[in-house]
Amino acid sequence: MTSNKPRLEVCLSPALLHLYDTKGAIVVIIDVFRATSTIAAALHNGASKVIPVATVSECIELGLRMTGSITAGERDGTIAEGLAHGNSPSEYPRRFVENKTLILTTTNGTRLLHMVQDAGTIITGSFLNLGAVCDYLSGQNANVLLACSAWKDRFNLEDTLFAGAVATRLRDQYDINCDSTRAACYLYERSGGNDLISFLRDSSHYKRLAAYGLEADLQYCATPDLHPVLPILKGNELVVL
């Protein structure tokens, strides 16, 4: 039995990305703690664009060349040397970020974004824009890869949980025959879907970031649909679709 529906798969780590055919596909980059959450917040609060860059030095350099830009990024939970701001979605309220360009470097999410080369469309997803991602995907007719940023290539619960939330909502519209997707859906089912942060408290990344005093940030990132916006990559810039 073959299906006429497009395929939906979940990639659990950038180190597994080569196993998936992303040619012409819609790739959803997921980095719940916290790059793609911050991207949703900044764009929803009126940033004109977000430019994801791989390194701190690239971030500094680009910031010097662009007026009205904000350089941001953390390493080990604190603002990286030479940058002005951190990687917290709550740092980017409208009064600060409106009409500005956010140049953002993070450990995992921006790296993955640059790894996907041949996709048809690249968007970013987080719980903050869960509904917007699902609404967009349900109107498409292309294969979808939900790509988890993981933590230094290690599987993480929060990105997989988000992938499970998306796959659970879209399971009737896509052809799913991928154990990663099944596992992501089971995890989402196990979380109950309502109190995500309670489920995520027992995860490596939560514990690591909570030790830096970032609990409020993590709670924020686990709140569905606070920033209903769809970030899409155009050239090297993320803008609102």
Chain residues that interact with a copy of itself, rule: CB under 8 A: 12-13, 15-16, 19, 152-157, 160, 177-180, 182-183, 186-187, 189-190, 202-205, 207
In whole angstroms, the minimum distance from the beta carbon of 151 to a copy of itself comes to 8
Instruction: Report residue 170 as tokens.
Output: 């879209």
In whole angstroms, the minimum distance from the beta carbon of 77 to a copy of itself comes to 17
The bridge status of strand 101-105 relative to strand 49-52 is parallel
Q: Which is nearer to a copy of itself, 70 or 176 (CB)?
A: 176
If you ran DSSP here, which 8-state letter would residue 55 be given? S
Block residue for tokens 């790296």: 111
Helix (H) or strand (E) holding 109, with range, is helix 109-115
Q: Which is nearer to a copy of itself, 177 or 219 (CB)?
A: 177
In whole angstroms, the minimum distance from the beta carbon of 186 to a copy of itself comes to 5
Report CA torsion sign: 112, 114, 119, 124.
positive
Looking at this protein, which amino acid is placed at residue 15?
A
Q: Which is nearer to a copy of itself, 96 or 155 (CB)?
A: 155
Q: Which is nearer to a copy of itself, 12 or 47 (CB)?
A: 12
> Among 36, 137, 169, 38, which residue's Cα sits nearest to residue 91?
38
In whole angstroms, the minimum distance from the beta carbon of 205 to a copy of itself comes to 8
